[in-house]
């Protein structure tokens, strides 16, 4: 037992170090998701069709958001290890790579949503539902998407800077920027959705305008702070003097980073496809899943932040050549993540009936939402373990493995099951959701085997010092 505890339980110094990294991320994500909850409630108070339309668009925008995340994740692996090894030029080159790839994704994203947006939204409106309600949902979704296109650029820029700051050990400034952004978003939502203080009552369009303005505010904070502290954030010094990157490093980043970007794109597209499968059960299911996702995201901030801590802390240890310490730290981080998920999942399960009550929607939607939330609560320890093992494998550059572990599993396993059961079985939407979410047990077994075999224990930047 003593050996077991020493392997998976850290001392006070360990948890202080972990929380120093993770808590600012938790606070930032927590506030963001809490304001997202308030936004959701405010839009939902206008009408169920408005709430459903916004939910559909946000599901599509998640594909873009995670494409950006995947694009910066590849160079981010190298960035964390370059920082750990003290390689300033390496950090600068990874930053430049992020700028180039994110610019391309923003342009592509705008074009896709501009010319194919209505078609993509229509995929979620093929289930049961009143024709008038379906038409209204489509109208509000298009209205929301058109405004949100103006927020793609600041989101991409903010992610470039925030990721580089975190790789350099600076997590407080992104947190401050996130707090400012959600404050701006919340105030403008009140003003623009409901027409307070003499402003026009814009409803769904007002919610989108508030979000776009808040994104520009968030990007401005991290950009200005970074450039004013170039002596500390040395990656920004002369970063824009040239966008040239050594081809050898480009090759390494592409080799390690492309599977990550492909993984995030395919995974987010897979989540969108799963939602489309659930939507076959009707508009009430779409609305209830929106409530579930909003509430669950608020509780998921703990394991998401701890996953980021795995990526940062373990990546820096690998870059510094401290392999045994990296393994020991990773074991404790995974254990801490899972135990945290048991606590947060239990709390979410108990509170599940309370959250839907604040929404102005039908009793049927509220009942479905409660059951979806309980399923998410039960599965949270699975989510936490797979999330931590994913970032463990990624920190050591095992990006092809993470691709197979993550998005490949979704498309080969979850989606075929959801597609068949949603269309050819009598399962209710809640049971369908439970079956699909429970399949993460398979990923847990695979992740456990891969982490235990230490296939991820590698120093990627040894040849670049």
Backbone angles phi, psi at 328, to 5 degrees: -65, -45
pLDDT computed for residue 127 by the predictor: 59
Q: Is the per-residue pLDDT at 6 higher than 70? A: no
Backbone angles phi, psi at 320, to 5 degrees: -85, 0
With CA atoms as reference, report the closest residue to 64 among 141, 124, 167, 149. 149
With CA atoms as reference, report the closest residue to 333 among 392, 400, 251. 392
Q: Is the per-residue pLDDT at 464 higher than 50? A: no
With CA atoms as reference, report the closest residue to 25 among 209, 178, 142, 247. 178
Parent domain of 252: 2-464
**Residue that is written with structure tokens 């998410």 in the block:** 376
**Weakest mean pLDDT among 23-37, 93-107, 161-175, 441-455:** 23-37
Q: 112 near 252, Cβ under 8 Å?
A: no
Number of domains the chain contains? 1
| 150: confidence class by pLDDT, cuts 50, 70, 90 | very high
Say what percent of the chain tops pLDDT 90.
23
What the block records as the tokens of 239 is 């970063």
pLDDT computed for residue 221 by the predictor: 94
| 465: confidence class by pLDDT, cuts 50, 70, 90 | very low
Q: How many CB atoms lie within 10 A of CB 294?
A: 25
With CA atoms as reference, report the closest residue to 23 among 442, 340, 439. 340
Tens-place pLDDT, residues 318-328: 777 778 888 88
Mean pLDDT to the nearest integer, 257-265: 77
Q: Is the per-residue pLDDT at 416 higher than 90? A: yes
Q: 31 near 178, Cβ under 8 Å?
A: yes
With CA atoms as reference, report the closest residue to 370 among 281, 431, 289, 277. 289
Instruction: Indicate the SS3 state at residue 237.
Output: coil
Q: Label each residue of 326-339 as H, E or C.
A: HHHHHHHHHHHHHH
Q: Is the per-residue pLDDT at 2 higher than 80? A: no
């Amino acid at each position: 037992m003593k050996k077991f505890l020493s392997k998976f339980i850290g001392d006070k110094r360990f948890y202080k170090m972990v929380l120093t990294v993770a808590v600012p991320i938790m606070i930032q994500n927590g506030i963001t998701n809490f304001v997202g909850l308030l936004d959701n409630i405010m839009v939902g108070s206008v009408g169920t069709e408005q709430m459903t339309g916004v939910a559909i668009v946000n599901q599509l925008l998640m594909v873009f958001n995670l494409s950006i995340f995947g694009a910066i994740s590849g160079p981010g692996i190298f960035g964390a290890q370059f920082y750990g090894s003290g390689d300033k030029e390496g950090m600068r080159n990874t930053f430049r790579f992020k700028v180039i790839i994110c610019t391309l994704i923003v342009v592509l994203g705008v074009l896709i949503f501009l010319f194919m947006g209505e078609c993509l939204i229509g995929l979620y409106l093929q289930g049961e539902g009143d024709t008038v309600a379906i038409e209204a949902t489509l109208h509000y979704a298009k209205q929301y998407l058109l405004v949100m296109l103006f927020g793609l650029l600041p989101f991409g820029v903010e992610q470039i800077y925030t990721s580089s700051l975190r790789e350099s050990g600076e997590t407080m400034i992104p947190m401050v920027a996130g707090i400012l952004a959600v404050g701006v978003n919340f105030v403008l939502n009140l003003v623009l959705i409901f027409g307070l203080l003499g402003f026009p009552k814009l409803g769904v369009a007002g919610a989108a305008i508030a979000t776009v303005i808040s994104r520009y505010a968030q990007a401005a904070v991290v950009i200005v702070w970074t450039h004013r502290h170039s002596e500390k954030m040395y990656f920004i010094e002369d970063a824009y003097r040239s966008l040239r990157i050594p081809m050898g490093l480009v090759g390494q980043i592409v080799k390690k980073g492309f599977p990550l970007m492909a993984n995030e794109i395919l995974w987010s597209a897979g989540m969108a496809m799963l939602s489309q499968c659930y939507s076959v059960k009707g508009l009430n299911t779409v609305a209830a899943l929106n409530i579930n996702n909003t509430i669950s995201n608020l509780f998921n901030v703990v394991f998401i932040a701890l996953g980021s801590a795995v990526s940062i802390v373990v990546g820096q240890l690998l870059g510094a050549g401290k392999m045994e310490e990296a393994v020991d730290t990773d074991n404790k981080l995974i254990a801490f993540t899972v135990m945290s998920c048991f606590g947060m999942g239990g709390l979410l399960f108990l509170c599940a009936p309370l959250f839907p009550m604040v929404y102005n929607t039908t009793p049927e939607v509220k009942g479905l939402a409660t059951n979806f939330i309980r399923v998410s609560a039960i599965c949270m320890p699975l989510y936490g373990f797979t999330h931590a093992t994913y970032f463990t494998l990624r920190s050591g550059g095992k990006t092809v493995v993470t691709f197979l572990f993550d998005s490949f599993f979704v498309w080969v396993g979850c989606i075929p099951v959801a597609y068949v059961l949603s269309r050819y079985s009598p399962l209710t939407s809640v049971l369908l959701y439970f079956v699909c979410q429970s399949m993460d047990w398979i990923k847990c077994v695979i992740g456990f085997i891969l982490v235990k075999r230490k296939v991820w224990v590698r120093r990627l930047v040894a040849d670049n010092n």
